[in-house]
Amino acid sequence: MKRASNLLRPPVKVWQRRGQRGVVSIGALLEAAALLAWWTWVIVGEKHVADAVAARRSVDYASTDAALIANASRCGQARVPQPDTLAQYRASVSIDSLTRGKLEIGNLISLLAGVAIGGERTFEIYTRPFTNSQISAHGAAVVAPRLLGGDTVELSASRLTACVEATRDVPQGSMADYRKSVFSLIEGY
């Protein structure tokens, strides 16, 4: 009797089995999958943002530090301190020398040439171009995960600085050099 009554019961629908172990609805499955995908995308994206931020900072710090060091060291050398936390994004720094502009003192050069002045060691202050440096820092490529498209971003930063000039003068000055040049024109008979 009991068995017969079981047979007579209509088949149980899926939606009617909610709350029972091992059986979920299609909607719940899709929702779970969407959430999992969502979370995966968020976590992967977060990792990518973190990588990009670290790489960006790496090139910014490297270029700024290199520019300051280059400025203070006559642009002859620039060793870039690398922050430990950004070591995986070590930037490579290159320094290019730029020479541009000078005093442009016009007719003064020819005026001074008239008294034999022009070959003294400190005279080049009038003719020497300004030396500046362009510091370029290139970071390692930041590769986006395949989930985010897999693009590669090459980060770089550029800085300019003005080099400290080396002087060719001596502590006692160069007056004797100029005096000799002038006097050479009127010496003796």
Partner 1 sequence: MPCPSRLLALAHSQHGMLVLTTFQAFLGAVTIALSLFRGGESTLSTHHHTLLAQANHAAALLGQYHARSANAITTNNTICAGLLGPRFSVEADNISMDESAMVACPRNDPYHRKVCARYKANKPRAATKLAWIRSQQTTICRALSQLSAGLDGVMSERAMDLARSSAEVAIEGVTFELENAAQTAAPWGKSSFEQACKLAAEDAQGSNMVGHAFPLLMHLMVPGLPQALVERAPSLFCALKSGSPIRLPEVPSVAQSSREQCRDLEQRTRWAAVPASSDTTAISGSNWRTMADLPEAARPFVECRRIAELPAAAITVEDGGGLSYSRDPDPGFYLLDDDHTSLRCNFDQDSCFDDALVDHSRRFVTSLQLPSLTGGETRAPSVDHWNHADEFRVRVSAARRIDDFTQRVSDAIRTIASFGSAGATDTLRKDRRYTACARWYFADGPTSAFAGVEPARQSFVQGWSHALTSCR
Question: In the chain, which residue ranges form alpha helices assigned H by DSSP?
Answer: 2-8, 26-72, 108-113, 175-183
Provide CB contacts within 8 A for 113, sequence distance 6+: none
CA end-to-end span of the chain: 151
Give 12 or 49: the residue with its C-beta nearer to partner 1: 49
Closer by beta carbon to partner 1, 4 or else 184 = 184
Q: For residue 134, give the 3-state DSSP assignment.
A: strand
Q: How far is it, in rounded angstroms, from Cα 133 to Cα 80?
A: 15
- Binder to partner 1 among 50, 87, 143, 147 (CB under 8 A)? 50
> Is there binding between residue 189 and partner 1 (CB under 8 A)?
yes
Per-residue binder mask for partner 1 (CB under 8 A), 99-138, x = binder? -xx-x-x--x--xx-xx-x----xx-xx---x-x------
Q: Which is nearer to partner 1, 92 or 127 (CB)?
A: 127
What number of CA atoms fall less than 13 Å from residue 9's CA on the CB side?
9
Cβ atoms within 10 A of the Cβ of 7, count? Answer: 6
CB of 87 to partner 1, least distance (A): 18
Positions in the binding site for partner 1 (CB under 8 A): 18-19, 28, 31, 35, 38-39, 42-43, 45-46, 49-50, 52-53, 56-57, 60-61, 63-64, 67-68, 71-72, 100-101, 103, 105, 108, 111-112, 114-115, 117, 122-123, 125-126, 130, 132, 157-165, 167-179, 181-183, 186-189
